[in-house]
C-alpha cells in the first residue's frame, strides 16, 4: 500500500500549448486535406471553365537621357507607370480607330521592366489578332510619347541656352559701344575703365560661344535618344497551354486550400479546447490513463490491421480484468464519445471475467442499442436493460455499461456500478465537460479506477499517470481512511494503480 503526502507543485499552464495544438491539427487532417483537395479541384475547374483570355506581348527598348549604370530601376518603373495613363491609352485607341474608353483599355494591359532599359508590355483581348493589334498600338503610342518628351526637353534646354546667349549678345553690344565712346575721347590720357571694358568684352564673347555650343549639343544628342527608343520584340500572341494553365491553377488552389484548412483547423482546435494528449485528459478527469486502444476498425480494414486490433483488445481486456478482479462492488464502464468501442470492450471483459470468476451479467445503460440491439451468439454474456436489470440478483456479478455524454442522468450511474472505468475518445469532449464529468462522479461518490483512451494520437509521448496529487483523491482515487500521523493529521492511503499502454501498433506496452 502506497502512502502519498507530497503535494504537486503549482505550475502556471502556458497560454497556448503548441504540442497539443499540433496534435489537434494533425488529428483534423481530414478537414485540411479536404480543403486542399477542394482548392485543387476548384483551381483546375477555373482553368477549364474560365480559360485565360488571348494575350499578346511586346518588348520596347527605352533610352533615357539620365541613364546610369547603377540605376536601381527607377526610370524604367516610371516608364511603366507612364504607360498606365489615359493619354497613352487614348492615343492607342485613336490609332486603332476604336470608340472604347481609355479607362476600359487600361484594365486589359500592363507593363513590367525587365532591365533598366527593357519594358515588356502585356495586353489581353477578345482574340489573338485584337491582342496583337492592341500591343502594337500601345507600343507605338509609348514610343511616340517618349520621343516627344525627349524632343520637348531638348528644345526647352536649347531655347533656354539660346535665350541666355542672346542676352549676352545684347550686353556685348553695350560693351562695344562703351569702348568706342571711350576711344573717341579727346586727350592723350587713356580712360581708366577702358581695360575693364576690354576684359568684359572678352568674357562675354567666350560665354556666347559656349552657350551656342551647348545649345547645339543639346539638339545633337536628341537623335541618339530617339533612335535608341524602339520596339525590339514585335508584338506576338502568347500560346496558352490548357494543361499547363490547369496544373498551375490547381497547384495554387492546392496551396491556398491547404493553408486555409490548416488555419481553420488550428482556430477550431483553440476555440473548441478539446484535450487530445494523455496528460491533459488525465489532468482534467483527475484519473490516470490505464490503457489505450484504437477505434473499432471498419469492415474494409485489412487482415493485418484487424489482427493487430484484436491483439490490442486482448491486452486491454487483460488489463481491465486485473483492475476489476476481486472487487466486491459492481464496476461500470462509462463512455464518452465511443459507445461502439465501449460495447465491444464490455463484452470482452465480461467474457474474460466469466472464465475466471463465473457468470457475469452486462447491464446495458447506453442511450442507444449498441448492446441490446445486437444478435447474441452462443457463449456470449447475458445483456439486460430496463426492468430486467432490476431483476438481477445481488449475488450475481454485474458489469454496467453507461454514458457520461451530455444529457446523462447522473443519479442513475450508481445503479450501473459504484466504481467505474471511463472510456473516453481522445479529442471528443471539451475540457469543461471533462471537469463536469469528474465533478459529477465525485458528487455521486463513484471512484474512477482509471481511464481507457480510445483513438489516441500515435505520436503522443506524454505521461497520463497522476503520480502524486492528494487534491485529485476526491476525483477518482480509490482511497481508504488512513491512520493518524504523529502530527495528528489523517493520512490518505491509496491502492496501487497499474498503468499500462495498449497500443495498436508495434510499440511496446507501458
Percent residues over pLDDT 70 in the chain? 80
* pLDDT tens for each residue of 228-247: 889 999 999 988 888 888 89
| Dihedral angle computed from the Cα positions of residues 485, 490, 495 and 496, in that order, rounded to the nearest 10 degrees | -50
Residue 36 inside a domain? The answer is no
- In order, the DSSP letters of 377-403 are -TTPPEEE-THHHHTS-TTSEEEEEEE
Q: What pLDDT does residue 487 have?
A: 36
Would you state the pLDDT for residue 471?
A: 43
- Considering the domain architecture, whether residues 125 and 174 belong to the same structural domain is answered as yes
Residue 372 lies in a domain: yes
Residue 5 forms part of a structural domain? no
**Structural domain contains residue 102:** yes
Cα 403 to Cα 336: distance, rounded to the nearest angstrom: 6
Lowest average pLDDT, out of 77-81, 148-152, 317-321, 390-394, goes to: 390-394
- Considering the domain architecture, whether residues 318 and 233 belong to the same structural domain is answered as no
Residue count of the chain: 510
For residue 506, pLDDT beyond 60: no
Instruction: Give the pLDDT of residue 255.
Output: 95
DSSP for 423-474, please give it.
EEETTTS-HHHHHHHHHHHHHTT--EEEEEEES--TT--------S-GGGGG
pLDDT surpasses 50 at 474: no
Does residue 66 or residue 439 have the better pLDDT?
A: 439
161-166 contact pairs (CB < 8 A, 24+): 161/211, 161/212, 161/214, 161/215, 161/218, 162/211, 162/212, 162/215, 164/211, 165/208, 165/211, 165/212, 165/215
User: Is 11 contained in some domain?
Assistant: no
Enclosing H/E stretch for 347: helix 339-357
- Residue 257: which pLDDT band, with cuts at 50, 70 and 90? very high
In terms of domains, do 202 and 312 share one? Answer: no
pLDDT of the residue at 162: 81
In terms of domains, do 234 and 298 share one?
no
Per-residue pLDDT at 304? 55
295 and 403 within one domain: yes
- 406 and 490 part of one domain: yes
What pLDDT band is residue 81 in, cutting at 50, 70 and 90? very high
Radius of gyration of the chain measured on its C-alpha atoms: 46
CATH code, 463:
3.40.50
Task: Tell whether 23 is covered by a domain.
Answer: no
Percent of the chain, pLDDT > 90?
25
Least confident of 176-190, 274-288, 353-367: 176-190
* pLDDT of residue 99 exceeding 80: yes
Q: Mean pLDDT in the chain?
A: 79
Q: pLDDT value at position 164?
A: 82
CATH number at residue 63: 3.30.1890
What confidence score (pLDDT) does residue 191 get? 62
Q: How far apart are CA 51 and CA 41, in angstroms?
A: 15
Same domain, 64 and 211: yes
Task: Please report whether residue 510 resides in a domain.
Answer: no
For residue 360, give the H/E element and its range: strand 360-364
Q: By C-alpha distance, which of 299, 305, 293, 317 is closest to 381? A: 317
Residues 391 and 298 both lie in one domain:
yes
Question: Are 350 and 455 members of one domain?
Answer: yes
Domain extent, residue 480, equals: 276-494
**Residue-wise pLDDT tens digits, 305-326:** 567 777 878 888 888 888 777 6
pLDDT for 467 beyond 50: yes
Least confident of 6-10, 126-130, 191-195, 330-334: 6-10
Tell whether 115 is covered by a domain: yes
What is d(CA 291, CA 333) in angstroms, rounded to the nearest whole number?
13
Average pLDDT in the 61-67 region? 83
Q: Is 224 in the same domain as 301?
A: no
Residue 103: band (very low, low, confident or very high) from pLDDT cuts 50, 70, 90: very high
Q: What is the pLDDT of residue 372?
A: 64
> How many domains are there within the chain?
2
Whether residue 305 sits in one domain with residue 165: no
- 185 pLDDT tier (thresholds 50, 70, 90): low
Amino acid at each position: 500500500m502506497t502512502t502519498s503526502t507530497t503535494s504537486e507543485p503549482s505550475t502556471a499552464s502556458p497560454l497556448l500549448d503548441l504540442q497539443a495544438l499540433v496534435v489537434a491539427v494533425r488529428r483534423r487532417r481530414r478537414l485540411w486535406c479536404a480543403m486542399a483537395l477542394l482548392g485543387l479541384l476548384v483551381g483546375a475547374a477555373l482553368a477549364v471553365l474560365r480559360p485565360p483570355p488571348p494575350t499578346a506581348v511586346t518588348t520596347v527598348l527605352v533610352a533615357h537621357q539620365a541613364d546610369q549604370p547603377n540605376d536601381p530601376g527607377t526610370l524604367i518603373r516610371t516608364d511603366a507607370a507612364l504607360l498606365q495613363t489615359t493619354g497613352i491609352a487614348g492615343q492607342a485607341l485613336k490609332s486603332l480607330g476604336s470608340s472604347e474608353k481609355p479607362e476600359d483599355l487600361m484594365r486589359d494591359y500592363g507593363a513590367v521592366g525587365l532591365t533598366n532599359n527593357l519594358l515588356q508590355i502585356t495586353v489581353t483581348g477578345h482574340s489573338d489578332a485584337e491582342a496583337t493589334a492592341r500591343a502594337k498600338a500601345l507600343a507605338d503610342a509609348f514610343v511616340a510619347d517618349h520621343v516627344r518628351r525627349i524632343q520637348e526637353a531638348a528644345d526647352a534646354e536649347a531655347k533656354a541656352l539660346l535665350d541666355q546667349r542672346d542676352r549676352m549678345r545684347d550686353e556685348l553690344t553695350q560693351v562695344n559701344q562703351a569702348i568706342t565712346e571711350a576711344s573717341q575721347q579727346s586727350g592723350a590720357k587713356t580712360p581708366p575703365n577702358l581695360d575693364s571694358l576690354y576684359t568684359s568684352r572678352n568674357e562675354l564673347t567666350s560665354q556666347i560661344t559656349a552657350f551656342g555650343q551647348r545649345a547645339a549639343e543639346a539638339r545633337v544628342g536628341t537623335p541618339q535618344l530617339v533612335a535608341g527608343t524602339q520596339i525590339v520584340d514585335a508584338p506576338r500572341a502568347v500560346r496558352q497551354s490548357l494543361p499547363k494553365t490547369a496544373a498551375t491553377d490547381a497547384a495554387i488552389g492546392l496551396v491556398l486550400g491547404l493553408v486555409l484548412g490548416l488555419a481553420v483547423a488550428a482556430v477550431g482546435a483553440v476555440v473548441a479546447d478539446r484535450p487530445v494528449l494523455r496528460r491533459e485528459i488525465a489532468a482534467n478527469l483527475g484519473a490516470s490513463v490505464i490503457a489505450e486502444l484504437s477505434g473499432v476498425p471498419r469492415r474494409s480494414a485489412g487482415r493485418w490491421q484487424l489482427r493487430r486490433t484484436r491483439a490490442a483488445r486482448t491486452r486491454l481486456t487483460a488489463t481491465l480484468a486485473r483492475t476489476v478482479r476481486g472487487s466486491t462492488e459492481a464496476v461500470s464502464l462509462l463512455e464518452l464519445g465511443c459507445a461502439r468501442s465501449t460495447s465491444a470492450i464490455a463484452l470482452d471483459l465480461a467474457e474474460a471475467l466469466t472464465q475466471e470468476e463465473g457468470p457475469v451479467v452486462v447491464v446495458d445503460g447506453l442511450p442507444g442499442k449498441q448492446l441490446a440491439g445486437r444478435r447474441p451468439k452462443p457463449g456470449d454474456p447475458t445483456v439486460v436493460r430496463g426492468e430486467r436489470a432490476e431483476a438481477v440478483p445481488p449475488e450475481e456479478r454485474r458489469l454496467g455499461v453507461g454514458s457520461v455524454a451530455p444529457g446523462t442522468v447522473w443519479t442513475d450511474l450508481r445503479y450501473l456500478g459504484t466504481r467505474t472505468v471511463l472510456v473516453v475518445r481522445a479529442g471528443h469532449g471539451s475540457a469543461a465537460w471533462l471537469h463536469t464529468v469528474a465533478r459529477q462522479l465525485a458528487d455521486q461518490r463513484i471512484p474512477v479506477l482509471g481511464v481507457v483512451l480510445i483513438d489516441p494520437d500515435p505520436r503522443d509521448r506524454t505521461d497520463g499517470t497522476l503520480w502524486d496529487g492528494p487534491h485529485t483523491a476526491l476525483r477518482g482515487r480509490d482511497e481508504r481512511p488512513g491512520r493518524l500521523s504523529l502530527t495528528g493529521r489523517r493520512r490518505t492511503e491509496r491502492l496501487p494503480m497499474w498503468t499500462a499502454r495498449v497500443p495498436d501498433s508495434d510499440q511496446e506496452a507501458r
